A = this chain, B = another copy of it.
Amino acid sequence: MLKGLMQDRPLLISSLIEHAARCHPQVEIVSRTCEGPLHRCTYAEVHRRAKQLARALTAVGVAPGERIATLAWNGYRHLELYYGVSGMGAVLHTINPRLFPEQIEYIVNHAEDQFLFFDLSFVPLVESLASRLSTVRAFVVMTDRAHMPACDIPGLLCYEDLLAVQASDYDWPQFDETTASSLCYTSGTTGNPKGVLYSHRSSVLHSWAACAVDGLALGANETALLVVPMFHVNAWGMPYAGAMCGARLVLPGPALDGASIYSLLRDEKVTLALGVPTVWLMLLQHVAANGLQPAEELCLRRVVIGGSSAPRAMSEAFATTFGAFVVHAWGMTEMSPVGTVCNLLDRKSVV
């Protein structure tokens, strides 16, 4: 076979954040934190801290291919873990905190997770499970020293302390793009949850699809609110696609109630929001109950709905009340995860 080696380089997740830091360094990541206030940082800062994290993991002996677990909301530290863990060649295992504790125990042990990073919200959960998580070498709470909880988790580490001692000069390792990058367990099966393993290649290719006009059409002009959780099917791949195109990201943390989401949409001038119907139902109820005028107050142009079927009334409410177009998407955990996206062709739209 005659080989053509045009643009020959592996498709690695680290290249996405490296690109964002170089081409979109000042684009914001806005996070609602467990500690309370909104937090603002940039792709350049996420990149720098992801490299510090990769160094920290290397320093404590994490080997390529080992699983590093998270129990966390959508936020900048979770984003740093997305890039730091996968980027160094380890596997990010995002755990769905809505599973039963026994299932969480099962999957941590089944995945043989070496470290567990978790948000402050999950201190009680981790406290109750820690003694039965046999492979976990250390527990890291994703906060700073001032907010460290008083709790019974043995040898608890502080995320910011881990990073603080690391320099940020780190060259992302280059390796085969089919290397595993992340792991989700799906409960959409019989019996115990089943692990679904993503590769660097699948995640980068999926990002291209998310940035395609006829895909999710994510681009540098969007401010995207990721209501879809980063603990489930990689938040529909948006943390990767966002860095690929330099979209501004808004991460709602633990506050998914109507009032919190509405204020983010308004104050952060969100143009694109992504989530499941149950969250949008809370938002629509909040808008109705308070007589709000979202079409006048918001910049929202599109709402991507997936996870389950959006009722027709929901699509209509977004169109009429918000002036936003609903893009219905469908996929599966083992599909990267977005499978189909319903955009309208010009000839089918009725404006």
Contact = CB atoms under 8 A, between A and B. Distances in A.
A129 interface: no
Contacts of A180: 1-4
B202 A213 contact: no
A275 interface: no
A334 interface: yes
A345 interface: yes
Interface stretch (A96-104, A214-222, A256-264): A214-222
Contact of A220 (B8, B198, B214): B214
B175 A1 contact: yes
Given A212-B208, A213-B213, A213-B245, A345 B220 contact: yes
A7 interface: yes
Interface string A61-79: 0001100000000000000
In which size bucket is the chain A interface?
Answer: 35 or more
B213 A217 contact: yes
Nearest to A90: B2
A213 B214 contact: no
Interface of A: 1-8, 64-65, 89, 91, 175-176, 178-182, 196-202, 205-206, 208-209, 211-215, 217-221, 245-246, 334-336, 343, 345-346
22 contacts: A1-B175, A3-B179, A3-B199, A4-B179, A4-B181, A4-B197, A4-B198, A4-B201, A4-B202, A5-B197, A5-B199, A6-B196, A6-B201, A6-B336, A7-B335, A208-B211, A211-B214, A212-B212, A212-B219, A213-B217, A220-B343, A220-B345
